[in-house]
A and B are shown apart, each in its own frame.
Chain A
Amino acid sequence: MNWRYVFSGLFFTIVAFFLVFAVILSPTFGLKDSDDNYIDRPMDQHIIDNTQGETGADNGVTAVVFDYRGFDTLGEATVLFTAVAGVIVLFRRLKK
């Protein structure tokens, strides 16, 4: 039982060390660099500029979820269906 505490503590300090690096090395909050211009994001800028012409929707987030990246929404719908099927199967014998 002592070995479990030692390995858990070691793992915990390693992950905490990596999280400190994540705070330091992330992009600036607000996405502005040192002489006050916005950092370049070409893909998102293309999506913001051409949403109304290519998809016909006003909402940029819905256009990304259902038109530009519709395949990810198909995967997410499959995960939701699998979870509901799993819960109903697990509780089938408790009801009788």
Chain B
Amino acid sequence: MSDAGMSKIVKTMSGVCFPFIVIFGLYVIIHGHLTPGGGFQGGAVVASACAMIMIAYGSVWTMKKIKEKHLSIFESIGALTFITTAFFGILLADGVFFDNFILGENGIGRLFANTASGSSDIWTAGVIPIMNIAVGLKVIAGLFAIVLVMAYATHKIKGGEMQ
């Protein structure tokens, strides 16, 4: 196959850099209500790291490791969590769609139930961190699936014709 990836140095160094980029991206997603960032921005960072691995190792090898139906399961989990959290605002609390029902008195547990001041910790802001994680998962799976499917479907086999 003529799509066997890049040289040994590139493969090793991208394997070394990959965990640091993923940890930075997850940090940007989870601290979305305290620092600049959030679900969409952190999801784009992690999707760039996964695309870097796909460029270094070749799309055939990556498609053997991760089939795209696992990626679509991830994306569906993210979308369903987002819409279920929005619907819980109707059943509990005041009966409004997209209500912040965890904040204040009507807390489900005592998780995420404080309000923020200037320098606050992560257990604040009600339903917003849950929505950040759901949207971040959706963006990671969606962008990585687009890049992987487009690269795998147009790779040339030996002889130079597209399959």
| CB-CB contacts below 8 Å: A25-55 with B | 52-53, 55
**A14 beta carbon closer than 8 Å to chain B:** no
| CB-CB contacts below 8 Å: A44-96 with B | 52-53, 55-59, 61-63, 65-67, 70-71, 73-74, 77, 80-81, 83-84, 87-88, 91, 94-95
The answer to whether B138 touches A57 (Cβ under 8 A) is: no
Q: Point out the residues of chain A lying under 8 angstroms from B131, CB to CB.
A: 66, 70, 73
Which chain A residue lies CB-closest to B43?
Answer: A80
The answer to whether A80 touches B138 (Cβ under 8 A) is: yes
The answer to whether B114 touches A56 (Cβ under 8 A) is: yes
Kindly state the separation between the CA atoms of A52 and B72 in the bound complex, as whole angstroms: 36
The answer to whether B79 touches A59 (Cβ under 8 A) is: no
Kindly state the separation between the CA atoms of A61 and B34 in the bound complex, as whole angstroms: 10
Kindly state the separation between the CA atoms of A52 and B25 in the bound complex, as whole angstroms: 25
The answer to whether B38 touches A59 (Cβ under 8 A) is: yes
- Known contacts: A74-B86, A95-B153. The answer to whether A52 contacts B115 by CB under 8 A is yes
Q: How big is chain B's contact interface, by range? A: 35 or more
The answer to whether A67 touches B128 (Cβ under 8 A) is: yes
* Chain A proximity mask over B132-146: 1 for CB below 8 Å, otherwise 0: 100100110010011
- Known contacts: A81-B79, A94-B154. The answer to whether A62 contacts B114 by CB under 8 A is no
The answer to whether B149 touches A56 (Cβ under 8 A) is: no
The answer to whether A59 touches B33 (Cβ under 8 A) is: yes
Kindly state the separation between the CA atoms of A57 and B81 in the bound complex, as whole angstroms: 20
**B103 beta carbon closer than 8 Å to chain A:** yes
The answer to whether A77 touches B116 (Cβ under 8 A) is: no
Q: Point out the residues of chain B lying under 8 angstroms from A67, CB to CB.
A: 98, 100, 127-128
A77 contacts which of B79, B117, B125 (Cβ < 8 Å)?
A: B79
**B32 beta carbon closer than 8 Å to chain A:** yes
**B35 beta carbon closer than 8 Å to chain A:** yes
Q: Point out the residues of chain B lying under 8 angstroms from A55, CB to CB.
A: 100, 103, 125-126, 128
Kindly state the separation between the CA atoms of A91 and B86 in the bound complex, as whole angstroms: 33
The answer to whether B152 touches A70 (Cβ under 8 A) is: no
- Known contacts: A77-B135, A84-B75. The answer to whether A91 contacts B149 by CB under 8 A is yes
9 additional contacts (CB under 8 A) given A81-B79, A87-B150: A55-B100, A59-B32, A66-B38, A73-B135, A74-B82, A80-B139, A83-B142, A91-B150, A94-B153
What are the 10 tightest A-B residue pairs by CB atom distance, in nearest-first order? A56-B115, A57-B33, A57-B125, A91-B153, A70-B98, A94-B153, A56-B125, A84-B142, A58-B116, A62-B38
